[in-house]
Amino acid sequence: MRETTFSPAPVVLIVDDQATDALILRESVRDLAQVHVATSGEEALRVARQYRPDVVLLDIEMPGMNGFEVCKALKSDPKLSDAAVIFVTSHAQADYELQALGYGGIDFIQKPLNIPVARAHINAHITLRNEAKRLANHDALTGLPNRMLLQDRAEQALKMARRNRGRLALLLLDLDNFKAINDSMGHSVGDQMLKYVATRLSTMLRGMDTLSRQGGDEFIILLSEVDGFEAVGNFAERVLTSISSPFSLQGNRYDLSASIGIGVFPEDSDDLESLYRHADAAMYQAKQAGRNRYLFFSPGIESSMRARHLLERHMRAAIEDGVFEVFYQAKVDAREHRVVGMEALIRWRDGDGNLVSPADFIPLAEETGLIIPIGKYVLLQACKDTRKLHELGYRICVSVNISVVQFREETFLGMVKGILHDSGLAPQWLELEITEGVLARDIDNARETLMALKALGVHVAIDDFGTGYSSLAYLKRFPIDVLKIDQSFVRDMLSDKSDLAIVEAIIKLGQALSLELVAEGVETPQQAEMLLEQGCRIMQGYLYCRPVPFTQICTVLSSWPRRA
Ligand code: C2E
Ligand code: MG
Ligand code: MG
């Protein structure tokens, strides 16, 4: 079984005012323990407080504090009182011995020192201490940490999580119908079973996690540093699977299952006590709901997790089934009254034929990495469709949204080049929309990628400008072609003075840096008029065109004058 204790080397403290005796003792035990030496009683207490010795070898006769007094002081300090005190003395009188035992000493080593004998005494006490420590912190049947050790570890993990704004999970696992096995097969079978369960569970943990048996058929798993509920849910699922694979014992096969309740810090509780109570409540509910399952304490977590699982499963299937579609929304030069480009916007038609908004699935796609194949699909489709439009005589640009996750992929540039090649679209007709967040982190890499895109001839737009990291420095530092004014400012610019001021400021900034400006979400002629007045002429919004499937964009384009 995995060794779950953190067991540092035992510590021995030698206290003797005779340097030679101290030296001899030290040499005789240096391979058994970490050894510290003090040459007076006062120093001994200082060293003891610092190193918490398991065994103290204590000379009785010393100037200043004598050995008895040191022993008394050690025994009255709760942090040091566990140490095994062995007196080292040249006296052999019974009253000395009685006195020493009375102070809490447990053994004697006779001077002059007989090294093998001294060593054997010390070794015996180190072994005893180790065993006592193990028993105090571990469950005798399974050897797993017990409630006390778990509590200690959990407090540490909580402290860390608080400091790092991290998350941890407490899983309370109770075997289903275990009592029936115990009653019908006898306790020795039951005990064997618990040991098996402990072994199986131990192999599933990371080094930083703790598995503990609380007594009976109840186990607790402490997962420190977890990223999300998803990961915790997946872990619980794996635990259930592992427990449900049959056990064989003395030629018989047994099937077990368990119910798990999960409490999460900080979402459910912010202290250990309530975390435990919540995990317990969730476990009880899992039993009620039919056993062999796990439940999170918080219904919010539970339902969002299930929804996410479902969504992720559907999304994977959707990629394979090809049910993603690319819609297009025209971008219009409002002054010249012509279409200059279009934005590709992904759509997902679910089983019932309804369109799912990208806002509902892109974040999860980013988290799960599914955005990589999805984004590649959109880019390829958009390039192919645009090429087709060119063949039909509509020579317009296409903008494609690129997620941070895609942009940071090592293969990103290669992917863009490959798609341009495969679709036959010349790079100057492609614009990639990234958000400010892409530029805020990993600046050097971002710059390198953008330079490479520029060299290729691909244009880059900052999408939703004004909503992200408002460091404007990057506008100068990065090779950017277009600013898209976020629709939230456009929406309220006629009623909200500060939004109008922001729009004005963005337009001025764009003009000063010679960037093209695009206003998003233009819905009314008044907004368009105001934008034109401010100096922004390229617009995108329902006023001109809603996002439509490729076949309809041709119709839209044919209703607008063509570029000269
Ligand atoms: P976005 O890139 O800012 O796209 C503009 C969004 O505004 C689109 O929402 C569009 O339908 C909507 N819109 C356009 N005109 C108007 C208007 O006049 N009024 C209002 N209220 N809305 C308007 P959509 O298609 O739901 O997309 C939402 C976001 O999802 C996009 O915001 C983009 O960030 C993301 N997205 C869409 N397609 C993709 C994709 O292929 N890849 C990635 N990574 N993200 C995508
Ligand atoms: Mg966009
Ligand atoms: Mg936008």
Ligand 1 atom closest to 547 (CA): 11
Whether 314 and 257 share a structural domain = no
Give the C-alpha separation, 100 to 560, whole Å: 105
Residue 366: per-residue pLDDT? 85
Domain boundary among 266, 297, 328: 297
Structure tokens given for 234 = 């997946």
Whether 328 and 245 share a structural domain = no
Residue 412: per-residue pLDDT? 96
When computed from its CA atoms, the radius of gyration of the chain, rounded to whole angstroms, is 36
Please report whether residue 142 resides in a domain. Answer: no
Residue 433: per-residue pLDDT? 97
pTM assigned to the model:
0.59
Find out whether the beta carbon of 280 lies less than 6 Å from any atom of ligand 1: no
Residue 112 burial (CB count, 10 A): 7
Q: If you take atom 20 of ligand 1, which residue's CA is the nearest one?
A: 521
Please report whether residue 470 resides in a domain. Answer: yes
Whether 347 and 291 share a structural domain = no
3-state secondary structure 294-358: EEECCHHHHHHHHHHHHHHHHHHHHHHHCCEEEEEEEEEECCCCEEEEEEEEEEEECCCCCEECH
Domain boundary among 297, 327, 347: 297
Name residue 252's beta-bridge partners.
Answer: 249
Find out whether the beta carbon of 362 lies less than 6 Å from any atom of ligand 1: yes
Residue 307 burial (CB count, 10 A): 11
Find out whether the beta carbon of 486 lies less than 6 Å from any atom of ligand 1: no
Q: If you take atom 15 of ligand 1, which residue's CA is the nearest one?
A: 541
Whether 337 and 230 share a structural domain = no
Contact partners, residue 182, CB within 8 Å, separation at least 6 = 189, 190
Residue 515: per-residue pLDDT? 95
Q: Which helix (H) or strand (E) holds 273?
A: helix 272-288
Q: If you take atom 8 of ligand 1, which residue's CA is the nearest one?
A: 345
Whether 132 and 151 share a structural domain = no
Q: If you take atom 19 of ligand 1, which residue's CA is the nearest one?
A: 521
Whether 130 and 157 share a structural domain = no
Domain boundary among 273, 297, 321: 297
Whether 153 and 128 share a structural domain = no
Find out whether the beta carbon of 341 lies less than 6 Å from any atom of ligand 1: no
Q: Which residues of 356-371 are buried (b: 16+ CB within 10 A; e: fewer)?
A: bebeebbebbbebebb
Contact 556, 342 (CB under 8 A): no
Find out whether the beta carbon of 286 lies less than 6 Å from any atom of ligand 1: no
Whether 162 and 83 share a structural domain = no
Report CA(61)–ligand 3 centroid distance (Å).
84
Please report whether residue 197 resides in a domain. Answer: yes
Q: Provide block-wise average pLDDT over 10 residues at a time, the chain (564 residues).
A: 48 93 90 94 94 93 92 90 90 80 89 89 91 84 91 92 92 91 85 94 93 92 89 93 90 90 89 89 86 86 71 80 91 95 93 84 83 94 97 96 93 97 97 89 87 97 83 81 96 95 94 96 97 97 96 92 62
Residue 470: per-residue pLDDT? 56
Whether 130 and 177 share a structural domain = no
Q: What share of the chain is helix, strand, coil (3-state, %, to 5)?
A: 50, 20, 30
CATH of the domain at 105: 3.40.50.2300
If one counts the domains in the chain, the total is: 3
CATH of the domain at 189: 3.30.70.270
What are the residues whose beta carbon lies below 5 Å from ligand 2 (ion)? 401, 433, 463
Q: Which domain holds residue 152?
A: 147-297
Whether 209 and 115 share a structural domain = no
Contact 431, 458 (CB under 8 A): yes
Find out whether the beta carbon of 466 lies less than 6 Å from any atom of ligand 1: no
Q: If you take atom 44 of ligand 1, which residue's CA is the nearest one?
A: 403
Residue 137: per-residue pLDDT? 85
Contact 29, 119 (CB under 8 A): yes
Whether 277 and 366 share a structural domain = no
Please report whether residue 6 resides in a domain. Answer: no
